[in-house]
Amino acid sequence: MSSVPTFPVTDPFVRRSRRLPSGVAFYLQASIVVAFLAASSAPTPLYAVYQGEWGFSPITTTVVFGVYALAVLAALLTVGSLSDHIGRRPVLLTAIALQAVAMIVLTTAGGVDELLIARVVQGLSTGAAVGAVGAGMLDLDKVKGTLANAVAPMTGTATGALASGLLVQYLPAPTHLVYLAILAVFVLQGVGVALMRETSAPKPGALASLRPRFGVPKAARGPLLLAAPVLVAVWALAGLYGSVIPAVVRSVLGSNSLLLGGLALFVLAGSGAVTVLLLRKAAPGRVMLFGTVALIVGVGATLLSVDHGSAAGFFLGTAVAGAGFGGGFQGAIRTVVPLAAPHERSGLLSTIYVVSYLAMGLPAVIGGFLVVHGGGLLPTTREYGVAVMALAAVALLGLAVPRRGARSSVLVAGNVPAVREPAPASAPAAPAARAEYAER
């Protein structure tokens, strides 16, 4: 494991003897990503309950979902790189506190207004944290950190959707228990963060960093342009599964089970997480190619299964699409992130998440509008899926036949150690850099 930089800690609560070992701190931060994304997907199986109790339309469901994504986007554009200036710990402690507040609001919610407020707070705290925790893991271990940044969000999404579905279906107080359980997790994680070492030296410019801007290092711009269509396609699909698909599953299976709403998202995100682990040693460019192809095949199979009312085909197609989700997202992360210097990591990760959450939120809201004012639930799902497939096909074309210089950077970007000054995006990696990566 890489040596961990440490900096003077003035907080009397955190004495040297009480600081967490770097290995424990790494997995604590990974667990924060999992918990935050689990909290974001926990309401998914509950939307049917809220809709029944409060009598709102599918448009409201997708607006609640989309508001969360847009709040994440707003936080990423403003405080996404703040931890590069004030340190990782202060940002994470604040984000965890906000998540705890959101859980309390969700537990006591009595209408759509409270639900929207809680989702906005959730989104802001998640947006503030993802850059800090992602960069914090890279500070501790560059190789494991890059992998964790790809697999932890999907693991959290899958865990939250399934656990929430199980709690809602089989235990009492469905709109309270799941949030109280997540609240307890956040309290424990807050204590852990208070005991962590700081891994990023404070530097001036904190206020200036709040000005909305994209933090993309010059060396990463070309690879990010090639990866962007993949990111948009996979996260647009995630938006579909987080908002509209739970109702589609119940319609296809003819069941009112609330567990099914979480199960579909679990299969998608869980398959993505497994794919990340299985392909972690493959070349990033090839992983993106695989992910794009799997996305097209999986979404196509899922749409055919919906048309024919096949539950088995639906979940099988979802698993293949999930593999595309995982492959596409992992390939993008591994292609782009290693090109950033340490002080650029948080801003670059925030930019990646800006693209991702914008792609997840806006199409979902549009889909909800079309469900009510367009052709209905199943036709809208079909049109949405076809749009995702078309976007994935565009991404596939860009990856298969890129500009010569851009292709070189995509194929070797994952092999450039982030601790070095990255070469120009069009330059191939030096043999020494490739050998160093292979040894890892």
Helices 259-278, 22-41: axis angle to 10 degrees equals 140
Max avg pLDDT among 12-16, 234-238, 364-368: 234-238
Which of 119, 114, 145 lies closest to 132 in space, CA to CA?
145
> Residue 303: exposed, middle, or buried by beta-carbon count in 10 A (0-12, 13-18, 19+)?
buried
**How confident is the model at residue 297, as a pLDDT?**
96
Residue 439 lies in a domain: no
Residue 187 lies in a domain: yes
What is the C-alpha to C-alpha distance for residues 100 and 335, in angstroms, rounded to an integer? Answer: 34
Residue 207 lies in a domain: no
What is the C-alpha to C-alpha distance for residues 225 and 121, in angstroms, rounded to an integer? Answer: 30
**How confident is the model at residue 43, as a pLDDT?**
87
Residue 400 lies in a domain: yes
**How confident is the model at residue 413, as a pLDDT?**
44
Residue 343 lies in a domain: yes
What is the C-alpha to C-alpha distance for residues 438 and 129, in angstroms, rounded to an integer? Answer: 31
Domain count, the chain: 1
**How confident is the model at residue 229, as a pLDDT?**
87
Contact between 9 and 198 (Cβ < 8 Å): yes
Residue 353 lies in a domain: yes
Which of 162, 73, 67 lies closest to 118 in space, CA to CA?
67
**How confident is the model at residue 179, as a pLDDT?**
93
Residue pLDDT, tens place only, 191-238: 999 999 888 777 787 787 777 666 688 888 888 888 888 889 998 998
Residue pLDDT, tens place only, 246-294: 888 877 777 777 788 788 889 998 999 899 889 988 988 889 899 999 9
pLDDT at residue 432 greater than cutoff 60: no
Residue pLDDT, tens place only, 378-411: 888 888 899 899 988 888 887 776 554 444 444 4
**How confident is the model at residue 346, as a pLDDT?**
64
pLDDT at residue 373 greater than cutoff 60: yes
Residue 5 lies in a domain: no
3 state DSSP class of 203: coil
Q: Which has more pLDDT, 223 or 305? A: 305
The residue range of the domain holding 25 is: 16-202+217-427
What is the C-alpha to C-alpha distance for residues 252 and 315, in angstroms, rounded to an integer? Answer: 11
Contact between 415 and 432 (Cβ < 8 Å): no
Residue pLDDT, tens place only, 113-124: 999 999 999 999
pLDDT at residue 428 greater than cutoff 70: no
CATH number for the domain harbouring residue 224: 1.20.1250.20
Residue pLDDT, tens place only, 153-188: 888 888 888 888 888 888 888 889 999 999 999 999
Residue 63 lies in a domain: yes
